[in-house]
Amino acid sequence: MENDDYQLLLNKFQGAKSKHDLWHGLWQDCYDYALPQRGQLTGNYSPANRRGERLYDATALDAVDQLASLLLGNLTPPLTPWFGLKAGTDLSAEEANAITPALEKASRLMQAHFDQSNFIVEIHQCFLDLVVAGTASLAFEEALPGELSAFQFTAIPLSDVILGEGQRGKLDTVFRKVSLTLSQILMRFDGANIPVSILQKGNTHPDEKFDLIESVTQSQDGHGYLFALLSIDQSEIIYQTKLSHSPFINFRWMKSPGEIYGRSPVMKTLPDIKTANKVVELILKNASISVTGIWQAEDDGVLNIANIELVPGAIIPKAVGSKGLTPLEMPARFDVSQLVLEDLRSRIRHALLVDRLPQMANTGKITATEITTRSDEMTMLLGATFGRLQVELLNPLIQRAYGILRQRGAIPDLPLDGRIVAIDHRSPLARAQSSRNVQNALGWVQAANSLGAEITDQIDRPVLMSYLTDMLGVPEFLKQPPKGE
């Protein structure tokens, strides 16, 4: 039965890999022009290689970095609470009030574990992959006992992870290619059934690595995930277990119908990026010709071209009556290239959302209303992407963290299912979307006050305060309970 399971997983891996390989060319172009130091999808790659030498225009590189930083600051800002836990929909008001202090404490504990881990470093790299390639993968593993944080994160390159859609259209099927030594296998997978040949090689050569495949698939009953470690050389499964949540969190910028992997903003503006790079290359070539010039000389038997140096004060000999060394007149000028380049750079910045807010040097020339309007426009533009990232990134991330701490007994043993305990998104982008509801509520209160005391008395102030507390993300412990409780 185990051999049948291995062959079934191997067939799934090969089918997913055939679809994965179709994207290599497009991904490689995106990385070469927008994030060259990320690596090479095929072949051997050294991190010290200078892969940016073919680039002549850095507009896309700068815009990608700014957009990734924008996502980081609006979704998971460092050292700032960007999520919380609240009572679910099935609890009564009394039950919600009873568990709210414990949930607030659990939220602070989870946030502390995120802050003390390497989450910010790895999620920033994932956001760079998301902007460039449209798909990113984050490995969320439990750290060893005794570590400062219970969480351990790893941003996985697209060359090492192969994805497939599960039963519900999510990226639940994951295959990751890893190379581990025997000691690393024994440390990470307690109770693994190590083949005799791997034990012999590993004990003889401790530094030798073995090619393995980590497989995560959704269980047949739809609850939980099946994790398996496949040995290609031995053609067998050497470790398998069942998990409540997948250790791999995969998310996309935009999904096209019928495709597994996502589409990125760099893919949309890749023609402009390539054209701008070529235009700058031609401008530099034309500039070098303008500086050094193209010269012609008569073969008069005196002028030796090999000994000529075009430096100030140089004396170049020539025969009597000959023209000697004369410059070649250029047929045309290349000034139109500047107009084309500015237009290309403007479109690249627009596609990567860099020009949505004015630069700091120009803030004195616009009004506060215009800045607010542009901020609202940015929120609306990122709204669709935020909704997708909330489903594919934030919710699985918080659920996985909650499950690890719940299993350790650090937080209450309550299900995070939306009915008992629910997720409260408190990121800046989530609060920007809630600010409109707050403005509408305050506008309604102001209108009611202008209609007289009879209308004002109909406002339920405790309920209004609870609504504003929830919309603004204010912790419940800051709100004073009503008198008599």
pLDDT in tens, 237-282: 889 888 888 999 999 998 888 889 999 999 999 999 999 999 888 8
Contacts of 435 (CB under 8 A, 6+ apart): 471
- What confidence tier does 312 reach under pLDDT thresholds 50, 70, 90? low
Consecutive H or E run containing 338? helix 336-351
Q: Is residue 357 part of a domain?
A: yes
Better-scored residue on pLDDT, 448 or 433: 448
Q: Confirm if 165 and 260 have CB atoms less than 8 A apart.
A: yes
Q: Which of 426, 451, 477 is the last residue of a domain?
A: 426
Better-scored residue on pLDDT, 188 or 273: 273
Question: What are the structure tokens assigned to 385, written together?
Answer: 């992407």
Q: Is residue 388 part of a domain?
A: yes
**Amino acid in position 139:** A
End-to-end CA distance of the chain: 62
Q: Are residues 232 and 360 in the same domain?
A: no
Better-scored residue on pLDDT, 167 or 69: 69
In this prediction, residue 360 carries a pLDDT of 44
Q: Are residues 216 and 156 in the same domain?
A: no
CA angle 330, 333, 335 (to 5 degrees): 160
- What confidence tier does 34 reach under pLDDT thresholds 50, 70, 90? very high
Taking residue 335's Cβ as centre, other Cβ atoms within 10 Å add up to 8
Q: Is residue 125 part of a domain?
A: yes
In this prediction, residue 480 carries a pLDDT of 62
Taking residue 329's Cβ as centre, other Cβ atoms within 10 Å add up to 6
Q: How far is CA 313 from CA 47, 248, 309, 323, 471, in A?
A: 46, 68, 10, 19, 76
pLDDT averaged over every residue in the chain: 82
Q: Is residue 69 part of a domain?
A: yes
Q: Are residues 211 and 275 in the same domain?
A: no
Q: Is residue 462 part of a domain?
A: no
Q: Is residue 325 part of a domain?
A: no
Residue with tokens 């499950």: 403
**410-413, long-range: CB < 8 A, 24+ apart:** 410/109, 410/150, 411/106, 411/109, 411/110, 412/99, 412/102, 412/103, 412/106
Q: Confirm if 105 and 114 have CB atoms less than 8 A apart.
A: no
Judged against a pLDDT cut of 70, whether residue 476 lies above it is answered with: no
Better-scored residue on pLDDT, 203 or 120: 120
Judged against a pLDDT cut of 70, whether residue 2 lies above it is answered with: no
| Residue 394 per-residue DSSP state | I
3-class secondary structure per residue, 340-354: HHHHHHHHHHHHCCC
Measured distance CA(210)–CA(192) in Å, rounded: 14
Q: Can you tell me whether residue 137 is helix, strand or coil? A: strand
Q: Are residues 68 and 144 in the same domain?
A: yes
Q: Are residues 101 and 118 in the same domain?
A: yes
Angle between helices 119-133 and 59-75 (to 10 degrees): 130
Measured distance CA(217)–CA(224) in Å, rounded: 9
Q: Which of 426, 456, 479 is the last residue of a domain?
A: 426
Which segment of 152-161, 214-223, 363-372 scores lowest on mean pLDDT? 363-372
Q: Is residue 156 part of a domain?
A: yes
Q: Is the C-alpha dihedral spanning 377, 383, 384, 385 positive or negative? A: positive
Which segment of 162-171, 197-206, 209-218 scores lowest on mean pLDDT? 162-171
Burial label, 130 (beta-carbon count in 10 A; 0-12, 13-18, 19+): buried
In this prediction, residue 221 carries a pLDDT of 72
CA angle 156, 158, 128 (to 5 degrees): 75
Q: Are residues 187 and 232 in the same domain?
A: yes
Q: Are residues 90 and 201 in the same domain?
A: no
Q: Are residues 81 and 137 in the same domain?
A: yes
Q: Are residues 213 and 340 in the same domain?
A: no
In this prediction, residue 74 carries a pLDDT of 84
In this prediction, residue 358 carries a pLDDT of 47
Judged against a pLDDT cut of 80, whether residue 326 lies above it is answered with: no
Q: Are residues 271 and 223 in the same domain?
A: no
**Amino acid in position 474:** V
pLDDT, tens digit (0-9, with 9 covering 90-100), for 329-376: 665 555 667 778 888 999 999 888 887 654 444 445 666 566 556 666
Q: Are residues 123 and 211 in the same domain?
A: no
Residue with tokens 């290619």: 177
Q: Which of 382, 397, 426 is the last residue of a domain?
A: 426
Q: Are residues 386 and 238 in the same domain?
A: no
Q: Percent of the chain scored above 70 by pLDDT?
A: 82
Domain that holds residue 221: 173-244
Contacts of 442 (CB under 8 A, 6+ apart): none
**Among 152-161, 192-201, 326-335, 359-368, the range of highest mean pLDDT:** 152-161
Per the structure, the count of domains in the chain is 2
Q: Is residue 364 part of a domain?
A: yes
